[in-house]
Amino acid sequence: MKAPSQSPVFASPCVVDTNVILVANGQHPGVSEACVQACRERLARLMSGGRIVLDDAFEILHEYRHKTDPEHGRGPGDAFVRWVLHHVDDPSRVERIHLEPDPVWGYASFPRQEALWSFDAADRKFVAVARAHPAHPPILQAADSKWLDWSAGLAAAGVSVCFLCEGEVRAFHRHKFGH
């Protein structure tokens, strides 16, 4: 007798910042080939057996599509965005979280901490999704050095940031901000 078919079990979900996709596509000047490769490998692992988390209003997906070419692009980041579009209605691969708007902080689930007041408004959706999700998945980050300044405040609010290119992010930060 044949065993009943089971849906595949995928790894814990994560939130993917757009710069991971851009670095994988080679669209971020100044990063090393090792950083590009780390981003490509992480996106490939997600596509082969991972899950991501998006907002249900598709703000994150809209940003992905705006900054890539999923229809015609040949880069690994473009392929990842195509994969997201293909799986957007499959909750075993793409989870969608509802975000409540907030007139001051952008989203009700964004942490109310003075240390995060200067957090980039365009990136708040990633943090809000991670906080609103019951598992508080990590945010994958590649080369945006501003996130280093916010990582302690985010950690205090239960949000973890996984820097795929931590050495380079720290070097960018030192060069950009002098510390």
Can you give the pTM of this predicted structure?
0.91
Residue ranges in the chain modelled with pLDDT below 50: 1-9
Residue 76 has what pLDDT? 97
pLDDT at residue 111, rounded to an integer: 97
- Residue 91's pLDDT is 96
What's the rounded Cα separation, in Å, for the pair 122 and 40? Answer: 23
Which pLDDT value is given to residue 1? 42
Residue 163, pLDDT score: 95
CA dist 172 → 112, 147, 166, 175 (Å): 27, 11, 10, 5
Determine the pLDDT at residue 179.
57
- Residue 103 to residues 124, 130, 131, 160: CA-CA distances in angstroms? 13, 19, 18, 25
pLDDT tens-digit series, residues 27-69: 988 899 999 999 999 999 999 999 999 999 999 999 999 999 9
